[in-house]
Chains A and B, each alone.
Chain A
């Protein structure tokens, strides 16, 4: 990790100044239609969760006790770190430093790929202990929302592979594509931050 940092730290500063122009929509503006739509949909789910939680406080609190807070917290850090390297990689790509961008996106991909793996370590013991979506409303919400989020993560990992390919093979990497993919990945991150607070942390 240190090599990456040393090799390209100066580029980061330069690219930040270059991209400092105000009023720039990162990535394909059609993609923002998707992002805002997705934020709204998840928003409805979050509020729905809170409403039904208000009806069954005891059940939700008791069920929450069975979640694995450690894996949840580690996964949050994984996604945050992955997001950091995505944004650093985007800056490097923008500055034309392809080697640094590639390295950073590889690291981002590794941290991102750890998320579904850890999720399995969380889900499989729970399911085999009989904690399934049909158990109660809390677990239905838990599996539907984290499952939905996991689909987004999987899609994001695929997009990240395409970004890597774009950076690696094409003569002039399409910066707008890199930004579009990065925007999507950060949205996945934002959704998880809210999910983490709602499912694992609040009382």
Chain B
């Protein structure tokens, strides 16, 4: 049991779950009024980007994969979230 807890994958999972709850709380707290809130949006999207990158590198095991795959997947995360934030702020 202790070995499983110390397993890096379980730690990644615990981290992912925690930030999921944190980002939900951010949305509940700061976004309760359902008005435009750039702080909430930025925080939530950045958390999502980190989560996606964590799942890709640790669960999909891309961190042990060849460079082209790492570059493609991380590129996807960076470009996607840059575009999302860009369109968000452009549309305000």
Contact = CB atoms under 8 A, between A and B. Distances in A.
User: Do the two chains touch directly in the complex (Cβ atoms below 8 Å apart)?
Assistant: yes
Contact of B17 (A25, A80, A87): A80
A2 interface: yes
B55 A83 contact: yes
Given A25-B69, A69-B24, A47 B87 contact: yes
Interface stretch (A59-67, A124-132, A152-160, A169-177): A59-67
Interface in A73-87: 73, 76-77, 80-81, 83-84, 86-87
A141 interface: no
Interface residues on B, range: 35 or more
Given A50-B91, A200-B27, A201-B24, A84 B45 contact: no
B3 A26 contact: no
Interface residues on A, range: 35 or more
Interface string B61-78: 110111001001100100
A147 interface: no
Interface in B1-32: 1-4, 7-10, 12-13, 16-17, 20-21, 23-24, 26-28, 30-31
Contacts, number: 169
A20 interface: yes
User: Which residue, A2, A182, A198, has most C-beta atoms of chain B within 10 A?
Assistant: A198
Contacts of A40: 76
B80 A47 contact: yes
Contact of B52 (A12, A25, A84, A190): A190
Contact of B1 (A6, A47, A81): A6
B1 A2 contact: yes
Nearest to B61: A26
A90 B92 CA distance: 45
B31 A50 contact: no
A50 B48 CA distance: 15
B22 to A, nearest CB: 11
Contacts of B9: 12, 84, 87-88, 91
Those 5 A-B pairs whose CB atoms lie nearest each other, nearest first: A54-B91, A9-B3, A197-B48, A5-B4, A50-B87
8 contacts: A5-B1, A43-B79, A80-B17, A84-B12, A189-B55, A193-B48, A201-B48, A203-B27
